[in-house]
Amino acid sequence: MKIRTLITLGAVIATFMITSCSKYPGFKKSDSGIFYKFHEKSKDTLKATEGSILTMNIRYYLKIAKKDSVLFNSADSPRPFEIDLKKSEYKGDIYDAFGMLHKGDSATFLVNAKDFFLKTAKYPQLPAGIDSTTMLYFDIKLLKCETLEGRQKAEAAKAEKFKSEEPGKIQAYLAKNKVTATPSATGIYVITQNPGAGRAIQKADFVKINLTVYSVDGKKIFSTLDQNKPITFEYGQPFDTKGFDEAVSVMKKGSKATVLVPSAMGFGDKGKKDMSGQDIISPYSPVVYEIEVLDMKTKAENEKAQKDEAANVKKLADEAKAKEPILIQQYIKDNKVTAKPTASGLYYIEKVKGKGANAKAGNKVKVHYTGKLFSGKVFDSSLTRQPVQPFEFTLGQGQVIPGWDEGISLMSAGGKATLIIPSKLAYGERGAGNDIPANAPLVFDVELISISAK
């Protein structure tokens, strides 16, 4: 009894010494050199081992001036973070830390930042401000711990469940929507709202449609109507599913129909996943298309239409280029701008003078901005994004438009200015997206938040 008491007491004292002597109060140190602190210890016996698929909530960050500088947070993603647990690459790496966890555990680990970036993340060089003494903090909650075999078994069971449910889902949809149409030989239902007119769509026709895709229970998956961007595709080339192709083959210009497609003519036993591996459409799930044929052209007609469109775009771009100097001078006059243009044509209008040296090429800068057309329409702003955070880039490296590289170099930290940027220093003849036309001069209200060495 005394021996056991002494051993227990010795363990307590040793633990106290390790914890209290640590420069990281509250943390213990593992044999591999990882500092760790458990917040929640699960009773689950399933432990992370090499080859396990780990699903977790994870956040890692640096502590700068006692404040957290977050580098990654899985809470910002639509689903938890997943990783295959590899064999440790070196003593005390993050894989060692993962291997200390059981399903349900939550803990904070400290890992050497230099080793993490150079050895684990394979950065070619260390990020600014990090050296051999810097520690990365990892907050982790292990949600799942699976073997590949276990996951495959679970996925197969889920697929079988969906397969058994599919006939009932189809019948429920038909009953709810009072569908009287007869299915085709392949099992698709085409419910026509407008038959259209003219000839049927043929192979090699270019077909312009509005398309909305739903799950059979009514969840919208995709729609061209959300952004008012119809799709044009060449019929006969792979586009979406066999069921979609079959439905379009019986449509004409002006046709509008709702199409119920069973999984055998849809996305089958695999379903459809997004880039992160999450189901968009589950295995053995029927889908519903709403299709409206807006236009159709033969290949020759489509080629002519594209040439005509290209000629029209060029004509508008040329007209905008010719008018740009007049527009800029009118804008200068209307807004009572007294600043003179730089040699490149940039107008720099200082609103608040910053402090210290101006930003220079090679500096990393953080900027808040609002970009507008001369009409006053805002096309982008760092202040309306969620979460609100400054835009960061390296000055003078061509990471931004030339007008920004030049304009920000005239500012110092804390400064605010308006930049009037001619199109040759912005997006030129190509424009940008749907919001910035070709040869459009731009206005940016900018605030230089900070300047740091690269």
For residue 22, name the pLDDT band (cuts at 50, 70, 90). Answer: low
Lowest-pLDDT choice from 109-123, 267-281, 379-393: 267-281
Rg for the chain, CA atoms, rounded: 31
What number does CATH give the domain 31-146?
A: 3.10.50.40
Most confident stretch, 9-13, 138-142, 154-158, 431-435? 138-142
Averaged pLDDT of the chain: 89
For residue 76, name the pLDDT band (cuts at 50, 70, 90). Answer: confident
* pLDDT for residue 147: 84
Three-class SS state of 420: strand
* pLDDT for residue 64: 75
User: Span 337-349, mean pLDDT?
Assistant: 95
Contact (CB, 8 A) for 36 and 30: yes
Asked if the model's pLDDT at residue 447 lies above 60, the reply is yes
Interatomic CA distance for residues 95 and 104, integer angstroms: 17
3-state helix, strand, coil in the chain (%, to 5): 30, 35, 40
* pLDDT for residue 131: 87
* pLDDT for residue 454: 64
For residue 276, name the pLDDT band (cuts at 50, 70, 90). Answer: low
- Say whether 313-452 and 162-297 share the same fold: yes
Look at the alpha carbons of 248, 249, 255, 258 in this order and tell me if their dihedral is positive or negative. negative
Task: Report the topology of domain 162-297.
Answer: Chitinase A; domain 3 (3.10.50)
What number does CATH give the domain 313-452?
A: 3.10.50.40
* pLDDT for residue 45: 86
Three-class SS state of 263: helix
Q: What is the domain partition of the chain in residue ranges? A: 1-25, 31-146, 162-297, 313-452
Count helices and strands in the chain by DSSP H and E runs: 7, 23
For residue 274, name the pLDDT band (cuts at 50, 70, 90). Answer: confident
* pLDDT for residue 20: 37
Interatomic CA distance for residues 261 and 187, integer angstroms: 7
Percent of the chain with pLDDT over 70: 94
Asked if the model's pLDDT at residue 261 lies above 90, the reply is yes
Whole-model pTM over 0.95: no
Who has greater pLDDT, 79 or 83?
83
